């Protein structure tokens, strides 16, 4: 994909126009996001190049064993803007909640918390707000933006207060956004001087990527936060390509359901993969969160097989499924079964990107056997099915 100097310079000017404070006071950031991705490089690194400031390179990342390096760095460095992906916040939050020293240093100079790369579950948003109130007596500005490598990357931004996670804001200056009907969603398309001219020596890909009016077809869907007031911004509504139909022909909107499921299964789910293509019902493959051991009263070195079979965890899974179902409006809006997995997502197998986002398709393909177990005629012992779970907690 072609990145031109024009795209990159335009995008930094667009960022400065919505965040004028970065020109008045050079930012301080401590950032692990890789420079071979547009978030860490074109957005964050270029922001420092344009405006001055200080970039501390965090050698940690949101992964077991490496998150401790991030925590050690944040014990020394007080950022003014902190960038991360939802998985990163999920792994960092327990340290901020339980270590007063790290928390105080993290919030000392902090003015903005920015998440991108995936939708942030509402429970993580609320925990971040609670921590800033606890430490500073006020809420730190918590926000997001939206775009891709092809948009340099910023296409929209929420440069105004939001009351909940998921608000992607409005188009940045000079950028246009088109929303067209696609099945029962609104597909997002973008046009502007920050958009790529195409793909290097691939005219076929370039033609396929743009519509007849020159808008780039990014593959995401969105909806208005307030249909009566478009200026309130749009909400992320998942990837068009990730959605699927149940056997009934009903569409399952993966992005929206994933975020709601993580919140319903808090604190045991770090992430979930939504299943059910051509099945009768929706299911969840669940990656256990870092708080599972403490929730079950297990030691910090307890093996994963102890976690996934512990009655407290299984009961919490069932309660989470029940909560999700109570708020659903049909079988496509909740899951009736879930399986907590022992193997963490594999970067080498493409299950998780360098930015920490779960690749739904890769997980479903690599773990097809677990999907079959999830829908087996007689539920396996490690599968929690709504209305069938009767485990008692060990004492």
Which residue is it, tokens 């696609």? 182
Question: SS3 for 157-190, per residue?
Answer: ECCCCCCCCCEEEEECCCCEEEEEEECCEEEEEE
Residue 36 phi/psi, 5-degree rounding, is: -85, 5
H or E stretch at 62 = none
144 within 8 A of 167, measured Cβ to Cβ:
yes
CA distance linking residue 343 with residue 40, whole number of Å? 28
Q: Give Cα separations from 391 to 64, 304, 324, 336, 348 (angstroms).
A: 30, 19, 19, 17, 36
Which residue is it, tokens 């188009």? 171
Across 243-279, b (16+ Cβ under 10 Å) vs e yields bbebeeeeebbbbbbbbbbbbbbbbbbbbbbbbbeeb
Model pLDDT, residue 354 = 60
Q: Which sign, positive or negative, has the C-alpha torsion 63, 64, 68, 69?
A: negative
Nearest alpha carbon to residue 156 among 179, 175, 178: 175
Model pLDDT, residue 393 = 41
Model pLDDT, residue 392 = 44
End-to-end CA distance of the chain, in Å? 57
Q: Where exactly are the structural domains of the chain?
A: 5-240, 243-385
SS3 state at 342: coil
Model pLDDT, residue 389 = 57
Which residue is it, tokens 């020596």? 201
CA angle 9, 13, 18 (to 5 degrees): 150
What's the length of the chain?
395
CA distance linking residue 324 with residue 212, whole number of Å? 41
SS3 state at 44: helix
No. of H helices and E strands in the chain? 14, 17
DSSP characters over 208-263: HHB-TTS-EEEEEEEEESSTT-GGG-EEEEEEGGG-EE-TTS-EE-HHHHHHHHHH
User: Per-residue pLDDT for the chain (395 aa), expressed as one digit of tens each?
Assistant: 999 999 999 999 999 999 999 999 999 999 999 998 899 999 999 999 999 999 999 999 988 789 999 999 999 999 999 999 888 998 999 999 999 999 999 999 999 999 987 778 888 999 999 999 999 999 999 999 999 999 999 999 999 998 888 899 999 999 999 999 987 789 999 999 999 999 999 999 999 999 999 999 998 889 999 999 999 999 988 778 788 889 888 889 888 899 899 999 999 998 999 999 989 999 999 999 888 999 999 998 888 889 888 999 999 999 999 999 998 888 999 999 999 999 988 878 888 876 567 888 899 999 999 999 999 877 677 899 998 754 444 43
The separation between CA 154 and the C-alpha centre of its own chain, rounded to angstroms, equals 16
Which residue is it, tokens 């409006």? 329
Domain 5-240 has CATH 3.40.50.12780: yes
118 within 8 A of 112, measured Cβ to Cβ:
no
H or E stretch at 304 = helix 304-309
């Amino acid at each position: 994909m072609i990145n031109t100097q024009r795209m990159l310079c335009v995008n930094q000017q667009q960022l400065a126009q919505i965040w004028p404070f970065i020109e008045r006071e050079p930012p301080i950031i401590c950032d692990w996001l890789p420079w071979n991705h547009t978030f860490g490089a074109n957005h964050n690194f270029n922001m420092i190049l344009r405006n001055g400031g200080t970039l501390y390179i965090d050698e940690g990342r949101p992964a077991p064993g490496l998150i401790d390096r991030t925590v050690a760095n944040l014990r020394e460095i007080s950022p003014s803007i902190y960038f991360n992906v939802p998985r990163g916040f999920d792994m960092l939050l327990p340290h901020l909640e339980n270590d007063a020293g790290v928390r105080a240093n993290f919030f000392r100079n902090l003015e903005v918390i920015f998440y991108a790369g995936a939708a942030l579950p509402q429970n993580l948003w609320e925990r971040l707000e609670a921590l800033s109130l606890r430490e500073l007596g006020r809420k730190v500005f918590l926000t997001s933006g939206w775009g891709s490598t092809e948009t340099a990357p910023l296409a929209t931004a929420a440069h105004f207060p939001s009351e909940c996670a998921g608000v992607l804001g409005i188009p940045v200056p000079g950028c246009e956004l088109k929303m067209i009907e696609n099945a029962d969603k609104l597909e997002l398309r973008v046009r502007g001087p920050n958009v790529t001219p195409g793909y290097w020596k691939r005219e076929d890909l370039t033609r396929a990527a743009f519509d007849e009016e020159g808008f780039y077809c990014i593959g995401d869907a969105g909806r208005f936060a307030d249909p009566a007031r478009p200026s309130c911004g749009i909400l992320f509504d998942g990837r068009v390509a990730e959605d699927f139909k149940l056997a009934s022909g009903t569409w399952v909107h993966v992005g929206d359901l994933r975020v709601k499921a993580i919140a319903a299964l808090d604190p045991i789910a770090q992430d979930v993969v939504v299943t059910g293509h051509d099945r009768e019902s929706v299911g969840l493959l669940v990656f256990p969160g870092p708080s599972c051991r403490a929730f079950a009263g297990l030691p910090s070195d307890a093996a994963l097989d102890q976690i996934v079979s512990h009655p407290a965890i299984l009961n919490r899974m069932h309660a989470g499924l029940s909560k999700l179902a109570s708020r659903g409006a049909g079988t496509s809006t909740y899951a009736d079964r879930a399986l907590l997995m022992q193997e963490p997502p594999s970067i080498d197998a493409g299950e998780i990107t360098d930015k920490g986002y779960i690749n739904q398709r890769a997980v479903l393909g690599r773990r097809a056997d677990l999907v079959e177990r999830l829908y087996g005629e007689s539920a396996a012992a490690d599968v929690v099915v709504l209305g069938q779970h009767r485990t008692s907690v060990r004492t």
